[in-house]
Chains A and B, each alone.
Chain A
Amino acid sequence: MLNSSLKQLGEELRAKKISSVELTQIHLDRITKHNPQLNTFLRVNHDDMSLAQARAADAMLAKGDAQPLTGIPVAQKDIFCAKGWPTTCGSKMLENFIAPYDAHVIEQFNKAGAVNLGKTNMDEFAMGSSNETSYFGPVRNPWDLNAVPGGSSGGAACAVAARLCAAATGTDTGGSIRQPAALCGISGIKPTYGTVSRYGMIAFASSLDQAGPMARCAEDLALLLNVMAGFDTRDSTSLQRDKEDYTRDLNNPLSDLRIGLPKEFFAAGLSQDVADSVYAAIAEYKKLGATIVDISLPNSRLSVPVYYVLAPAEASSNLSRYDGVRYGYRAPEYSDLADMYEKSRAQGFGEEVKRRIMIGTYVLSHGYYDAYYLQAQKIRRLIAQDFTDAFKQCDVIMGPTSPSTAFKLGEKGDDPVQMYLSDIYTIAVNLAGLPGMSIPCGFGSNGLPVGLQIIGNYFAEARMLNVAHQYQLATDHHDRAPKNIGL
């Protein structure tokens, strides 16, 4: 049952083989048992709200008006405001913040009858690639407790991989869904920018942030995305498009599929075992009928520097509201207003957040704006143009999600640039606003999972999910579970 797909779970719930309360309790019990080790959840069943939702779901199931996700326990990244729940964003700054309203994503899951199982740990304000920047301590990788789960949605990826929830939500600003999905051996998709409303999702870098689902297979992702996507008037960057069914193309054959392989994604810096698994996956796709096209994304090499100008610039401004005045952390002692600001922010934010606020403030400053911010915006357009050109030759682009398998806790802690390079293949996708996903495609020599990244053109999510699903029908990497999680 813990390995069941969402479709199977839904069927079992509707067939009354198990109740939502039972299913929720099973996961809560597993969390009680494994969370002390994994540190993946920051809060579960807050004020008994998860079980209350499960009981309500059972009532819906009993009446026979259940939807596909009714009664299914979903873990929510602690970046989403959920009414009545502590919503910390992994920061001391919001340690005691109880959200007074629901994010659009939370509303959508509530409407679908899903159960909010709990809030998952994450890098502070989603700034990190290892989950080590969380104020509440790092999450462990269930495949190797000494390795990181990736980040920033590391808690979500770990929870799905360790079978502590049926599915989870994440957010992805530079790879924060795909990279932890890869490192934890699960599937995750970041849809086209604007597909999922950002209302109630705590902002890191507004022009890059996008929420998406994380689960064990592509078919699950399609069901989750059906719930999460949709136009929302409360987010001006939300796209006004017709509602679509992301499961509609899952079973299409791949015989006419053209896969672009960017040479830049297979150059120096890529570890051999990741390359081997990715090439093996490409070979599998050939067997499924796909053709391979060599492509180039010449400006993608500039993605990391461009990202580390733009994302901190937006973040420095987005995080200004955490000033200790209205809510959140305020220093216990201060001499005057400026001192209150300085102490509250110095004590309330962690090192990585402060580093990015400093970078962002610098690049927006008078005299530096043109050289950094404006220049980065120009290159951002070139990077997007590379993809537009590439999609004239292929339907999807494939490559590694991350240059290596999960690295050890503390391994990159002293070297931010090494940490930033962990997202070298994912960042360009956010800069272009394109959809990107990661699916398990094998294991390294260390036994840790490898992720295959699939990048699609704008709004090609259904096609990408089809591409992933067909691979998952032919392979079993996504079904593998870590040992030592009591299965």
Chain B
Amino acid sequence: MQWEIVIGLEVHTQLSTSSKIFSGASTAYGAEPNTQADAVSIALPGVLPVLNKGAVERAIKFGLAVGAHIAPRSVFARKNYFYPDLPKGYQISQFDLPVVGQGALTIQVEPLSGNVKPYEKVVRITRAHLEEDAGKSLHEDFHGMTGIDLNRAGTPLLEIVSEPDMRSAAEAVAYAKNLHSLVRWIGICDGNMQEGSFRCDVNVSVRRPGEPLGTRREIKNLNSFKFMQQAIDYEVQWQIDTLENGGKIQQATVLFNPDTGETRTMRSKEEAHDYRYFPDPDLLPLDISEEWKAQVRAALPELPQAKQARYVKDFGLSAYDAMQLTNALETANYFEQTVGLVGINNAKICANWIMGEINSNLKLMVGDVNLDTCPVTSSQLANLIKRIVDGTISNSGAKEVFRAMWGEGGDADTIIEAKGLKQVSDTGAIEKIVDEIIAANADKVAEYRGGKDRLFGFFVGLAMKASKGKANPAQLNEILKRKLDGAK
């Protein structure tokens, strides 16, 4: 009998404010330990939190982007527990009244294996709330003691909670990737997973189809899509094996070990904290006016789905192409800049070049590459496409120009000139070549005219060779056909 996998995600996105959520200390990554720990970050006696409006604005942006209800009034609450990297002994978070309510994210799922085609799915978002990050405990280099770095303490986070709508590791990864793309798209998070700017907790359970939800286990703190998939695969198999062997799943929090590829229990439900949430009396309720919401909405970039619809309608692209071109804001911007330079009628050829040559070359580069840092700019690409469209160069010539641009830079026209890639589009010159070939191959001409149509390719080959490959193929075809058939 089949098992159904049920997955929900809690994603901590680090908001891209320059100062902390409740103090003016810097949030920059990588500083010397505790150099960005001000009085509030250390939780000195008598200090008080003051809310960073920039963090709220980013939360509103996210809410609007997923069509969620923005709470006109939300409340900060204290989550109480003791840990050395939690300086106040409580984390300021939101509990029963979060800033962002129910919304939804449409995701594109690319199945990880099998012959299933890519498909779209709507994942419901339960809520998103603002909270502060904790510091870090450093367990190395302290000779049996623990070091505490409070630079990260107080960094603003938006915790985005989904409904348990995912039914496979592929869907969970697709959701995470789409969410990752969206938060970068709307500019609320840098998405840097190595630096912990985008951390995923994955709730996994299995059940027989049609039955109530199984007991879930939560895989904490996954910071790569690859690990997420491995962790889910391992966890699902472990749960199925356990159940099929007559065991029961206990609610628990687990950690994934990338070295072994296994998950292991960190704490069971019995060991779970009682966080004693209550409204933080140091902070007033967070009121968001319609006016503020409208301002944020006006500043929001066009969202991926709106762009996709526009690309299909105005540019005549396929839905698949439109989706590919909106996987990141940089890609969409690059595409739109290129189209802006070559005209809407040539949108398809722009799309093909970006998804083809550009994309495959980018993939070969190392480091954090995207179309903002692409060696070939949109205006360079546009000039190249113009020369393809006006017949100056052939497709194969264009690829050669592109390779030169990618490697050494330079403008299309200069490279075409330097490499002598210009097509012969001069009708007189092509006619002269064709006439010579007809004259020199009288026997074959006779055979062709006698009905041996497949000889046409033979004449094209000879003409191309004679033109050293530079003859405009369309023109050549037209002239050759006219001259050969004319006397049929």
Contacts and interface: CB of A to CB of B under 8 A. Distances in A.
Interface of A: 80-81, 87, 89, 94, 97, 99-101, 103, 198-203, 205-207, 233-237, 313-314, 316-317, 319-321, 323, 325-327, 337, 341, 361, 364-366, 369, 373
Which 7 residue pairs across A and B have the least CB separation, nearest first?
A: A320-B89, A364-B276, A207-B281, A206-B281, A200-B46, A321-B43, A202-B45
A325 B84 contact: yes
B44 A100 contact: yes
B43 A314 contact: no
Contacts of A341: 82
Nearest to A89: B45
A321 B274 contact: no
Contacts of B276: 316-317, 361, 364-366, 369
Contacts of B460: none
Contacts of A198: 46, 48
B49 interface: yes
B163 to A, nearest CB: 24
Nearest to A367: B274
Given A207-B281, A237-B282, A364-B80, A317 B45 contact: no
A327 B44 contact: yes
Nearest to A93: B45
A116 B99 CA distance: 44
Contact of A103 (B46, B84, B281): B46
A237 B47 CA distance: 13
A237 B42 contact: no
A384 B85 CA distance: 39
Most chain A CB neighbours (cut-off 10 Å) among B42, B45, B49, B278 = B45
B88 A320 contact: yes
Contacts, number: 95
A326 B281 contact: no
Contacts of B87: 321, 325-326
A100 B46 contact: no
Contacts of B89: 317, 319-321, 323
Given A321-B87, A364-B278, A200 B49 contact: no
A239 B88 CA distance: 25
A236 B278 contact: no
Given A199-B46, A327-B44, A317 B82 contact: no
B152 interface: no
Interface in B38-68: 39, 42-51
B288 interface: no
Contacts of B374: none
Contacts of B277: 364
Interface of B: 39, 42-51, 78, 80, 82, 84, 87-90, 148, 274, 276-278, 281-284
A310 B284 CA distance: 17
Contacts of A337: 84
B82 A97 contact: no
Contacts of B46: 80-81, 99, 103, 198-203
A144 B51 CA distance: 48
B274 A317 contact: no
A321 B82 contact: no
Interface centre among B87, B148, B274, B281 (most CB of A within 10 A): B281
B54 to A, nearest CB: 15
A99 B281 CA distance: 23
Given A236-B284, A321-B88, A323-B89, A200 B47 contact: yes
Given A199-B47, A199-B48, A361-B276, A320 B80 contact: yes
16 contacts: A80-B46, A100-B39, A200-B46, A205-B281, A234-B48, A234-B50, A236-B48, A314-B281, A316-B276, A321-B89, A323-B89, A325-B84, A326-B42, A341-B82, A364-B80, A373-B278
A202 B90 CA distance: 16
Contact of A317 (B48, B278, B284): B278
Contacts of B78: 317
A206 B51 CA distance: 16
B40 to A, nearest CB: 9
Nearest to B78: A317
A365 B88 CA distance: 18
A201 B277 CA distance: 24
A211 to B, nearest CB: 11
- Central interface residue in B42, B47, B283, B284, by most chain A CB within 10 Å: B47
A236 B39 contact: no
A107 to B, nearest CB: 12
A236 B44 contact: no
B45 A236 contact: no
Contacts of A101: 39, 44
A204 to B, nearest CB: 11
Nearest to B38: A101
Contacts of B80: 316-317, 320, 364
A316 B281 CA distance: 13
A319 B88 CA distance: 8
Contacts of B278: 313, 317, 364, 369, 373
Given A341-B82, A364-B80, A321 B45 contact: yes
Contacts of B148: 325-326
A237 B49 CA distance: 10
Nearest to B23: A234
A202 B51 CA distance: 20
Contacts of A201: 46
Contacts of A87: 45
Contacts of A313: 278
Contact of A206 (B50, B274, B282): B282
A48 to B, nearest CB: 24
Contacts of A325: 84, 87, 148
B82 A323 contact: yes
A202 B49 CA distance: 13
Nearest to B89: A320
Given A236-B284, A237-B282, A364-B278, A320 B90 contact: yes
B21 to A, nearest CB: 13
Contacts of A203: 45-46, 282
A326 B283 CA distance: 24
A279 B44 CA distance: 46
Contacts of B90: 317, 320
B330 to A, nearest CB: 38
A80 to B, nearest CB: 8
Contacts of B82: 320, 323, 341
Nearest to B49: A236
Contacts of A316: 80, 276
Contacts of A206: 281-282
Contacts of A365: 274, 276
A237 B39 contact: no
A32 B93 CA distance: 49
B228 to A, nearest CB: 30
B126 to A, nearest CB: 21
Contacts of B39: 100-101
A234 B90 CA distance: 20
Contacts of B43: 321, 326
B48 A235 contact: yes
A89 B43 CA distance: 16
A394 B276 CA distance: 41
Contacts of A99: 44-46
Nearest to B84: A325
Contacts of A366: 274, 276
Given A81-B45, A87-B45, A100-B39, A236 B50 contact: yes
A236 B274 contact: no
A201 B78 CA distance: 20
B454 to A, nearest CB: 84
B152 to A, nearest CB: 15
Contacts of A202: 45-46
